[in-house]
Structure 1
Amino acid sequence: MMDQSGYLPEAGFFSFVAGSCTNAGLLDAASTLLTKGSRLGCCIEPYAYNYLLNSLIAHGRAQDAVALFESWIQDGLYSPDVWSFNVVIKGVCRMGNFQKALELVERMTEFGCSPDTITHNILVDGLCRAKQVNKGHEVLRRLQRDGVCMPNAVTYTSVISGYCKAGKMEDAMSVYNDMLESGTRPNTVTYNVLINGYGKALDMESAVRMYRQLILRHCPPDVVTFSSLIDGYCRCGQLDDAKRIWKEMGLHHIQPNVYTFSIIIHSLCKQNRSAEALDILRELNMRTDIAPQTFIYNPVIDILCKGGKVDEANLIVTDMKEKGCHPDKYTYTILIIGHCMKGRIPEAITLFHKMVEAGCRPDNITVNSFVSCVLKAGMPNEVDQIMLIASGHGLASQKVSSQQSRRLDISVAV
């Protein structure tokens, strides 16, 4: 169009093609197009630049986004709006450069922009995530004092979350009370943060009180609400209460997610309640909307192996693989030691070979425990090969001794 026909595309065309490139993940091409269009005198709308900057940050390229933004305004290629600054301030906050973020806030007036509630929310959230919650709280206090740009539920919740993560529940509740006094309505996220904070502090009485407040204020509980309550009860060792909340989820027509399953299965296994853990695992296997994760299966496999139920553990691994979930280093280690404890050294050696062939490099704990079991079984000749394979110098597919080969007719479901 430009080189052969001498036709200069209009600003809308540049925006459209740059947006298409951004959608396709061709972020550098989008940047080149916008820069070229601007240099050719096209007055491209700020939203096209903002969309690209936001995409760069979302793809982990915050530094590139900030550099591009600064080069554009330095060259006078476009006039940023409030959204432009909010996007870039979010980027520098992710980089942890809060001084730069504050400088950008100060520069907004140069372009006729004023920081809005979203600007302050980005700053407060960034500070709190960086464990500078006191500074985040100070920004909140300044907003309350100035009264020009009022904080909203997101602002308060970010500070509450920061204090909860730091284990400062009294400070979190103080901000919550300020929130109520200001007339700002807490939402489900606010209560989830407090419930989770009290659960981690092992204060389930306060966590339940927050849950009741959530219900009284007609905030709909979600899967995070119930997962936080279940996690809190599990941390306190109150598994019966955790299971009661599990059932209560169903009354609200809320399905547990993969993390809810993980929390309760891990806790049941810790208390040696393998039958109940297996029931929950079967429930998970019936869900077609959840992709099972290895870290959920491993505690069940471990408790079965420790209880001498190695064959049942093998069946769990079969179920895992049928669901497209492959054993990891911990799965293999659990199974190897489990087979050793049952005196099934040849099967354990086969599992060790499979572990290495699968790309799961055994660590020192696995190797030392395995070697100890092999030596106790009176098979010193196998130790050198195990150590060689573990060091990466041996072949995992190397055949085992003829004496072992005769004993490997026992099926191992991995």
Structure 2
Amino acid sequence: MLLRGPSYPNVLHHHLLLSRLHLATATATGPASDAPDLWIAKAIATAFLLSPSTASSGLAPFLPALSPSVAFAAVRRLPTAESALGLFQVTRSAFGVAHSATAYRFLVARLFRSGLHEAALKVFDQMASDGHSPDGPCLEFFANSFAEAGQLDAALKLLARASEFNCRVRCYTFNKFMNLLVGRNRAQDAIFLFREQLASQFFTPDTCSFNIIIKGLCRLGDTDGAFEFFKEMRDFGCTPDTVTHNILVDGLCQTQQVDRGHEMLRRIQSDGLCVPNVVTYTSVISGYCKMGKMEEALEVFNEMIELGIRPSRVTYNVLIDGFGKAGDMPSAVSMYERMMVCGCPPDVVTFTSLIDGYSRSEKLDDALRLWNEMGQRGIRPNAYTFAIVISSLCKKNRISEASHFLKELSERRDIVPHAFIYNFVIDVLCKVGNLDEANILLLEMEEKRCSPDKFTFTSLIIGHCMKGRMVEAIGLFHKMVATGCAPDSVTVSSLVSCLLKAGLPNEVNRIMLIASGRDLGLDISSSKESPSSLGQSPDITVAM
């Protein structure tokens, strides 16, 4: 009966291994015992893999003095990180093996690669408690492993322990993590890390370190704080470079201190400490364009040309967009033609800015002509290009054409659909009473996992109310609340007003009860708001 038991082969194999292991340990003596040591490691690994619990108790009598090298060899032979960890801990606790720093690093690295980050951190702590303090490269590896797994905070905690282990982490590594924080809109955390490291003796910042912190402060709009760090750079032996000045100039322009940014540009030019480049000039040009000061923008552009600095595509796009928003399409087209003559090919931003300019100037046919030209050049429109054309067509009540463009957009797999684009068409369909098509678009949005927003629901609710379809309007309101889209005072007051006119006071009470729980601050009698933002064209953000 024993022979038929399902565990019999494993048990038999396991006892056979233990017997051979006993023989191997009896004969493995002296410096020439490498081959027996390897066999012992294989046997331990196999026995542990077959039955971890039995191996733990069964190996103890045969291996009173298991060497760290044999234990490490056995751990390395196991096929999974979990089994390697199990044998490592057994040999450490049951057999008293003092594992080497190499064994610890191997295991921690393997656990990281397998995604077992918490287990890796525990082994790391054991490593430190066993007297194997990590050096700089080791700590950097562990921190980078956490960061690559998306656990940035855990990585930062490890780096913060550098002084505890009396090891120096490279400036490059700290710069990398500070840059990650700034890129994830955590500039304050980057600044805290930087100040914390400045207070230690294990960190020597470089120019790149300061540039990252200055960039973070500028993104927060704290240009004064950025300039304080700028002044401190030389105290640490760091010389500001072109990148430093570019960040500061751009930071000033982004916070509408364009004149101050322009003044700094001139000072850089006159001092000769570093050479301003196309990025420096484009920042100032962009700042003036955003303020609608096109004469000043063109003056800086011409100054750049005179100095022999060649404009980039971004420079041209900034000016084209600025002229378009200012309603000066002749200048926008002239800049576009100049761009072409200079051998700088236009991109989707160029055409989107021109289309937006024509749309603002109510020259929709010219905008559509450019749309066709864009297609002829093999340039695919982006979400903003579609939004501008669709919204412009809706304003002109050219609903069928707008629907055609919306259909083309919905067939594009490379563009994530946005609710605000659907809203243009849904709103105009509701206003002309074509509720069936509006409802179909709502279903299409949901099929494409494009969540309707409060403007979508408000347009539909008001549209159904105006047509006397109160049951559908109430259903849309409840659907809006159920999907987590909070109705505002416009939505509620419009629905309540229509319900009162329809003689449905009980429904009004229910709607008001829901609304009161959301603290909308309603004043039904005086509210005359409408979702006017539905018809506005979104501004095109030119990439810098």
- Runs of 5+ consecutive residues of structure 2 not aligned to the other structure: 1-100, 102-126, 519-544
- Runs of 5+ consecutive residues of structure 1 not aligned to the other structure: 394-414
Query: Which residue in 2 is equivalent to 1:332?
Result: 457
Q: Single out whichever of 336-345 and 291-300 deviates more from structure 2.
A: 336-345
Partner Cα separation in structure 2 for residue 10 and residue 290 of structure 1: 47
- Map 1:37-76 → 2, pairs under 5 A: 37-38=162-163, 40-76=165-201
1:191 to 277, 291, 316: 316
Partner Cα separation in structure 2 for residue 9 and residue 354 of structure 1: 57
8 Å CA contact 2:313, 2:345 repeated in 1: yes
Query: Which residue in 2 is equivalent to 1:372?
Result: 497
Partner Cα separation in structure 1 for residue 478 and residue 179 of structure 2: 47
- Map 1:229-248 → 2, pairs under 5 A: 229-248=354-373
Query: Which residue in 1 is equivalent to 2:117?
Result: none
SS of aligned partner of 1:7: coil
- Map 1:11-410 → 2, pairs under 5 A: 11-38=136-163, 40-392=165-517
Partner Cα separation in structure 1 for residue 344 and residue 458 of structure 2: 45
Partner Cα separation in structure 2 for residue 355 and residue 44 of structure 1: 52
8 Å CA contact 1:38, 1:44 repeated in 2: no
Post-superposition offset of 1:14: 1.8
8 Å CA contact 1:268, 1:276 repeated in 2: yes
Post-superposition offset of 1:39: 5.1
8 Å CA contact 1:18, 1:30 repeated in 2: yes
Partner Cα separation in structure 2 for residue 381 and residue 38 of structure 1: 69
TM-score, structure 1 as length reference: 0.90
Partner Cα separation in structure 2 for residue 260 and residue 290 of structure 1: 11
TM-score, structure 2 as length reference: 0.69
**CA deviation profile, 1:284-340 (whole Å, cap 9, x unmatched):** 111111111111111101111111111111111122122111322221221122122
Partner Cα separation in structure 2 for residue 291 and residue 340 of structure 1: 31
SS of aligned partner of 2:185: coil
8 Å CA contact 1:239, 1:267 repeated in 2: yes
Q: Single out whichever of 322-331 and 90-99 deviates more from structure 2.
A: 90-99
Post-superposition offset of 1:126: 0.9
8 Å CA contact 2:500, 2:508 repeated in 1: yes
Post-superposition offset of 1:5: 4.0
Partner Cα separation in structure 1 for residue 377 and residue 165 of structure 2: 58
Matching of residue 9 in structure 1 with residue 134 in structure 2: yes
**CA deviation profile, 1:115-149 (whole Å, cap 9, x unmatched):** 11111111111111111111111111011112231
> Given the superposition, is the C-alpha separation of residues 63 and 327 from structure 1 closer, same or farther in structure 2, using an over 3 Å criterion?
closer
Post-superposition offset of 1:365: 2.2
Amino acid at match of 1:243: L
Amino acid at match of 1:327: P
Q: Single out whichever of 87-96 and 181-190 deviates more from structure 2.
A: 87-96
Partner Cα separation in structure 2 for residue 387 and residue 109 of structure 1: 63
8 Å CA contact 1:22, 1:55 repeated in 2: no
Amino acid at match of 1:253: G
Q: Percent identity?
A: 58
What is the aligned length? 393
8 Å CA contact 1:332, 1:351 repeated in 2: yes
8 Å CA contact 2:285, 2:300 repeated in 1: yes
SS of aligned partner of 1:3: helix
> Given the superposition, is the C-alpha separation of residues 360 and 8 from structure 1 closer, same or farther in structure 2, using an over 3 Å criterion?
closer
Partner Cα separation in structure 2 for residue 123 and residue 23 of structure 1: 30
> Given the superposition, is the C-alpha separation of residues 217 and 341 from structure 1 closer, same or farther in structure 2, using an over 3 Å criterion?
same
8 Å CA contact 1:320, 1:326 repeated in 2: yes
> Given the superposition, is the C-alpha separation of residues 182 and 349 from structure 1 closer, same or farther in structure 2, using an over 3 Å criterion?
same
> Given the superposition, is the C-alpha separation of residues 366 and 42 from structure 1 closer, same or farther in structure 2, using an over 3 Å criterion?
closer
Q: Single out whichever of 376-385 and 189-198 deviates more from structure 2.
A: 376-385
Post-superposition offset of 1:32: 3.3
8 Å CA contact 1:223, 1:255 repeated in 2: yes
Considering only CA atoms, is the larger Rg found in Structure 1 or Structure 2? 2
How large is the RMSD of aligned CA atoms in angstroms?
A: 1.9
**CA deviation profile, 1:147-192 (whole Å, cap 9, x unmatched):** 2311111100011111111111111111101110111110111011
Partner Cα separation in structure 1 for residue 256 and residue 508 of structure 2: 49
**CA deviation profile, 1:316-368 (whole Å, cap 9, x unmatched):** 11221221113222212211221222222222222222222222332222222
8 Å CA contact 2:464, 2:470 repeated in 1: yes
